[in-house]
Each structure stands twice: as C-alpha cells, then as structure tokens.
A and B are shown apart, each in its own frame.
Chain A
Amino acid sequence: MAGTRAPRRGDIISIASTATVDPVRVEVRGLSKSFGQVRAVSDLGFTVEPGTVTGFLGPNGAGKTTTLRMLLGLMQPDSGTATFNGAPYTALPTPLRTVGAVLETAFHPARSGRNHLRVYCRAAGFPLSRADEVLVQVGLADAGNRRAGGYSLGMRQRLALATALLGDPGVLVLDEPANGLDPEGIQWLRGFLRHLAHDQGRTVLVSSHLLSEVEQTVDRVVIVGAGRLVREGSMEQLRSGADGAGTVLVRSPEITRLADVLRADGVAAVQEDGTLTVHGSTPADVGRTAFAAGIELHELRSRTSGLEEIYFQLTSGSEQFAAPSTTGQEATR
C-alpha cells in the first residue's frame, strides 16, 4: 500500500530492516475471569500464529480488553493460562523484547514523548537511542520534544505504538488501535501491521468491536461474544460462511422458473422483489444450472462479501452483556 503515494517519514518504508524476528506463538487456554456475579471471560481458548495479523473481535463488553489484560499479566485470571511460546507474560525475562502492547494511551501529560519512551528504555535496559528510533518508525520524530499532553488523539496512538515497539518484540498486542485515528492514520496502521506480520514474521493480535475496521488488515479472526469463543479461523473460512457454502443473489427475467429448477436440484432459494436468494451454493453452481436450463441472467453475485452480516449473526445475542457504561472500560461488569 506504500506504493500508492510517495513515501514520507513515518511511512512503513522507514523501517529499514526487513529482518525477521524469532517466531512467537500465543496460546490462550481455558481462560476465565469473573467480576462479582458477571463472568467477563468464560473458558476462552484460541491461538495466534506468527507471521499473521489476527483480529480479536467482539461487541463491546464481550471480554476483549479483560482477555488482553490477563494475557499481559495485568489481571489475574480465575483459571486458565495465556502463554508466549509456553511462558506466561510474568515469567518472561525482559517482557518488552517478546511482547509489545498498545492498550489505553497512557502518558504523563507534562512529559515529552521522547522522555516518556526513555523512561521505559531505562527500565528495560535498552539504549536511550531506541526512543528516537521508534519515534521515527511511527512518524513522530518532529513531535518528540513536545509535551505528550498536547498531542492529538492520533499522535497519542502513535506514541503508544512506539512504546510497544521499543523492545523490537516478536508479538504485538493492540487494543482498539484505530480509535482516534483519522482515515489516513488507519490506512497507515493497516500497512504497518501487515508489514510487521507478513514481512518480518511477527505475531500481531489486534482487537476491535468493528469487523469492517480490521477486515482489510487481518488474516485470521478470533470472535468472542459474552466472554466465550464464537469463531476462530481464517478470513476465507469466515467469508465462506458456516457450512462452507455461501449465499448467492440472482436477478433474472425468468426468476420463478429458475427457482423451480434450483429447488428441483434440492437447493434452497427464496424469491423476493425480483431477486432470488440462493442459500448454500456458489455463483458458479447457480450459473451452471441456469445455463443448462437456458435461463437468462441479469445479475449473479455472492452475498458473503457482507462479512459484517456474518459477524453480526455470530455475535448477536451476546450484546446483552454489553455494559451501558460511559467509562470506556469494557467487560468490567
């Protein structure tokens, strides 16, 4: 995507190294956590593979943030494990070298972006020059000496990402990173994450409550609803629907005859407003049937590109657990 316009500072081009990192596999097994009477996360298990961008999806209140916080050792699970190549976060010798995390954007407003990064360089034992390198990487080099309190929302997200990149980690975990980014920033982030995963072999886990937000970025999805795993798999598997075959839309002047022919083959077809909706089939199969019967077609397309609809169907019903809160902390009740 960097080829669509001239590269600028902060573009993915600026990551000089295409060196790959040691692959790290993230495994979540039987993770559960309750807040009082509410089970925020319930026996959740999934795997995040190196070299892929995995979307961690679910409606607000589905337990995404709670899961990520347990993954990162910030919250204690009631049961279950979350490991990086077999080791829990709190057992990693220098965790920032293995995992970089972008959670909420947290800075002291009076501290400059560069000094914010230097604090964590010191704490993790990295050279202070790493602060300047990651500032360049996320396109904040010019703003490094300004107070973080004066940053725009997008700049704060970039600074949080810079903090996550300090240790050149094999795993990146991002919680709703697109919040506050303008369309250009979202474009940049997409390219950046894909570059980190596909070109450098990192493991990228990115959460979102909107499938459309990450649809173009992710290779795999882990969908949760009400703290439980709803679906885990590749985007292709998701697109092709639950049973491997999708829904096909057909328009034809002989729509009734086409429906009869299809039904005669045992294919479910629903006629509505001059459009035929065919379930459990593919455009190729429907087209072949129509051609064999000599039926003229005006439109023939797969409807499963409406991923949002699949996502909505998968997660509907879990929304009742969404917190009616305005605190922005999901899954805390």
Chain B
Amino acid sequence: MIRLVRAEWTKLFTTKVWLGLLLGAVVLVIGFSILFTSFAGNAESGIPDVGTPLYEQLALATGANANILFLILGIIGMTQEYRHRTATPTFLTTPRRWQVVVAKLVAYALVSVAFALVVVAVNYVTVLIHAGARGAAPSLNAENLEVLGSSLLALVIYAVIGVGLGALLRNQVGAIVGGLVYLFVVEPVIRSIPATSGAYKWMPGGGLEALTATFEGPELLGAWQGALLLLGYGLLAALLGTLLAVRRDVV
C-alpha cells in the first residue's frame, strides 16, 4: 500500500497541476485576508475592528474558502486516470482496484495536509502583516489556532471528497463543473429558502460552515459534528466510487 501511495505522489508531482492549484489557493487566501482586514471596523461591512477576537476568527477562517480548489485537486487526482486512459496501466499494475482508490485517498489526504498547512500559514501571515499595519496583529492564542486548525481539517476533507467524487463520476469536466454548481448554486439556494434551510445543516456545506464559520448563520451542527458529517460525506463518496471502480469494465 505504501508503494501505491508513493506511486500516486509520483503521478501528482510529475505534472504541474498541483502547483497551479496550490498557487491558486494561496492567492485566494491572500485576497480574502486582505479584503476582510481592509473592511474591518467598517460599519457597513459588519466586520468588527482589528484587534477584536471576532475579527481575528473571521480573518483567520478565510483559508477554508480554498475548499473548492482542494475539491478540484482530489477530483483531478482520480479522474485524470480516465481522462488520459491511464486507468488501463494503473489497473493492470494493481488489478485489485480498491487498493488504487484507497491509495489515492491516503495520498491525497496526506498531500492536502501539507498544502493546507501552507494555506493556513499564508492566511495567518497575511493577516498578521496587514492587521499589524493597522495596529493590532493577532496572536496565535488557543481560539485562533482552533480556527486555523478547523480550516486545515476542512480543506483536507474536501480533497478526500474530491477523490471519492472523481471515482464516482469518472468524467473530469463533469465532476468539476458539478462540484462548482453544487457548492455555489445548489447549496446556497437550499440555505436561503426557509422551507429547505432546515436540511442545510446536514449537507456538506452545512458541515463546512459548522466547522469553520463564525458568522451568524442558519441553524448548524456543532463544529465537531460538522467535521464528522463532512468526513462522512468524503468516505461515502469514496466507498461508492470504490465499489463502482471495482465493478465497472475498463474500456
């Protein structure tokens, strides 16, 4: 299994996809950090002033916004095998196909821990510099560390969900577009309609929000329940994806 995980890393780091996604996540988190800090204390924005605990928790949670890029990382990691037809040599090398999917889940979970560490570190440093320039740099107290840790956990789980989703759908463009539409259209709609918003807390976005958000929002689960819910979705997608990958013919 260690061999297969290392093979997945070789696949990942011998093309430049990882670099683009990591840079994208870093740029995204720098942008959000600066945006939140710029509008801190602005009465119309609703963001509290720098130096307040609530501001710091908001600004340090922006790393979680890179979740879509981690989802795409996982999706590409799985679907590239089908897109470039390398599923054939991959499954020839490892005919017990569930091992391939499990190796991908482990490989991408570990890689996204490293990537997510970069993202939350950049998040913290950006806020540290910008808020520091405005007079009140946040410290790494227990509450702020918990916020950063929650972001990290959320990003890793989204990468795992991505691998599972990719195994399920196999079509790279379809899985990415489907993931984007779901995250940015379907869930926000469900969240905003009173009749369905009760279900939102049980959905992946609700789990993510429970885990990371500090805004006043709809009714949500507790942070750890949210994390478990999110992880459950990731493992469910992976399990279904594995079962399908094992049964389906490779053509």
Contacts and interface: CB of A to CB of B under 8 A. Distances in A.
Contact of B11 (A92, A119, A329): A119
A9 interface: no
Contact of A109 (B11, B84, B87): B84
Given A119-B7, A119-B14, A123-B7, A74 B92 contact: yes
Interface residues of A, number: 34
A260 to B, nearest CB: 60
Contacts of B85: 104, 106
Contacts of B89: 106, 120, 163
A92 B87 CA distance: 18
B88 interface: yes
Nearest to A120: B93
Contacts of A73: 91-92, 95
Interface stretch (A95-103, A133-141, A217-225, A313-321): A95-103
A95 B10 contact: no
A108 B93 contact: no
B250 A75 contact: yes
A74 B10 contact: no
Interface stretch (A46-54, A110-118, A235-243): A110-118
A51 to B, nearest CB: 23
Greatest chain A CB density within 10 A among B91, B93, B247, B251 is at B93
A123 B99 CA distance: 11
Contacts of A74: 88, 91-92, 249-251
Given A103-B88, A104-B85, A106-B84, A123 B94 contact: yes
Contacts of B92: 72-74, 95-96, 99, 101
Contacts of A311: none
Contacts of B16: 110
A69 B251 contact: yes
A106 to B, nearest CB: 4
A124 interface: yes
A123 B4 contact: yes
Given A73-B95, A74-B92, A107-B86, A123 B3 contact: yes
A298 interface: no
A125 B10 CA distance: 13
Contacts of B96: 90
A95 B93 contact: yes
Given A103-B88, A106-B86, A76 B249 contact: yes
A207 interface: no
Contacts of B11: 108, 111, 119
A333 to B, nearest CB: 12
A111 B93 contact: no
A110 B95 contact: no
B251 A95 contact: no
A89 interface: yes
B10 A107 contact: no
A196 B131 CA distance: 69
Interface in B175-200: none
B141 interface: no
B15 A111 contact: yes
Interface in A196-224: none
Nearest to A95: B95
B90 A89 contact: no
A89 B250 CA distance: 15
B251 A90 contact: no
A118 B8 CA distance: 11
B134 interface: no
A76 B249 CA distance: 7
Contacts of A106: 84-89
A60 B6 CA distance: 39
B80 interface: yes
B90 A123 contact: yes
A107 B89 CA distance: 9
A89 B251 contact: no
Contact of B88 (A76, A104, A123): A104
Given A74-B91, A115-B14, A120-B89, A108 B7 contact: no
Given A74-B92, A96-B93, A111-B15, 9 more contacts: A73-B95, A75-B249, A75-B251, A76-B247, A99-B92, A104-B88, A106-B88, A108-B15, A122-B7
Interface of A: 69, 72-76, 89-90, 92, 95-96, 99, 101, 103-104, 106-112, 115-116, 118-120, 122-125, 163, 329, 332
13 contacts: A73-B92, A74-B250, A75-B249, A95-B92, A101-B92, A106-B86, A106-B88, A107-B84, A107-B86, A108-B84, A110-B15, A119-B7, A122-B3
